[in-house]
Amino acid sequence: MEAIASPLVKVVAISGSIRKASFNHGLVRSVIDISKELNNGVKVEYVDISPLPMLNTDLEVNGTYPAAVEAFRNKIAEADCYLFASPEYNYSVTAPLKNAIDWASRPPNVWADKAAAIVSAGGGWGGGRSQYHLRQIGIYIDLHFINKPEFYLNVFEAPAKFDADGNLIDAESKESLKKVLLSLHAYALRLKGK
């Protein structure tokens, strides 16, 4: 009997940190590598939010947005689901991440009715408080977050979880990321009715 190929699921991955060697960028890079190893129909694309201007409705002209915003909104609209790597700044999400979310939620809201997952790396609770705020934001913009598994990584625990370039090197953490990606994949297919 021939195996049935899994339908393609396009995942847009966004890091809430715009620092190139950030731990959260490292999580995104690791998820992309894991998706290639899985070879199960999930395709993860990193979308950079650093070119986005700060939200200013004066920049909306005759129902259009600045070029960087239009390109970002198109990537969000074309995706089946999203993976946020959300660092925690002052118990919440970062300003660049909130800005990106707000731009894509301008009419028409291109986030709506799709699956999402959150991973985070940081000190203390590993970015956990930012995840709760992101879930609250997601309610209003009609995102459907997976509930489990959760992924919070305390980067100050020994042994080191990342190398000097911000790449995830911890095998146990990679396995946990894989479980998040598989859960997101399954939930996205469920929401699509497949």
Question: How far does CA 120 lie from the centroid of its chain?
Answer: 10
Q: How far apart are the first and last CA of the chain?
A: 21
With respect to residue 3, please indicate whether it lies within any of the assigned structural domains: no
Q: How many CB atoms lie within 10 A of CB 59?
A: 13
pLDDT attached to residue 3: 47
How many distinct structural domains can be found in the chain? Answer: 1
Q: Is 79 within 8 Å of 44 (Cβ atoms)?
A: no
Give residue-wise pLDDT tens across range 42-65.
Answer: 999 999 999 999 999 999 999 899
With respect to residue 1, please indicate whether it lies within any of the assigned structural domains: no
Q: Is the pLDDT of residue 124 over 90?
A: no
What CATH number corresponds to the domain at position 49? 3.40.50.360
With respect to residue 4, please indicate whether it lies within any of the assigned structural domains: no
Q: What is the mean pLDDT of residues 4-25?
A: 88
pLDDT attached to residue 5: 59
9: Cβ–Cβ under 8 A, 6 or more apart, which residues?
41, 42, 43, 80, 81, 185, 188, 189
With respect to residue 123, please indicate whether it lies within any of the assigned structural domains: yes
Q: Is 113 within 8 Å of 191 (Cβ atoms)?
A: yes
Give residue-wise pLDDT tens across range 70-88.
Answer: 999 999 999 999 999 999 9
Could you tell me the two tokens for 18?
């715009």
pLDDT attached to residue 13: 98
With respect to residue 162, please indicate whether it lies within any of the assigned structural domains: yes
Domain that holds residue 64: 9-191
With respect to residue 181, please indicate whether it lies within any of the assigned structural domains: yes
pLDDT attached to residue 133: 95
pLDDT attached to residue 4: 52
With respect to residue 42, please indicate whether it lies within any of the assigned structural domains: yes
pLDDT attached to residue 172: 95
With respect to residue 79, please indicate whether it lies within any of the assigned structural domains: yes
Q: Is the pLDDT of residue 129 over 90?
A: yes
Separation in Å, CA 27 to CA 4, 40, 68, 79, 123: 30, 20, 24, 19, 15
User: How many residues are recorded in the chain?
Assistant: 194
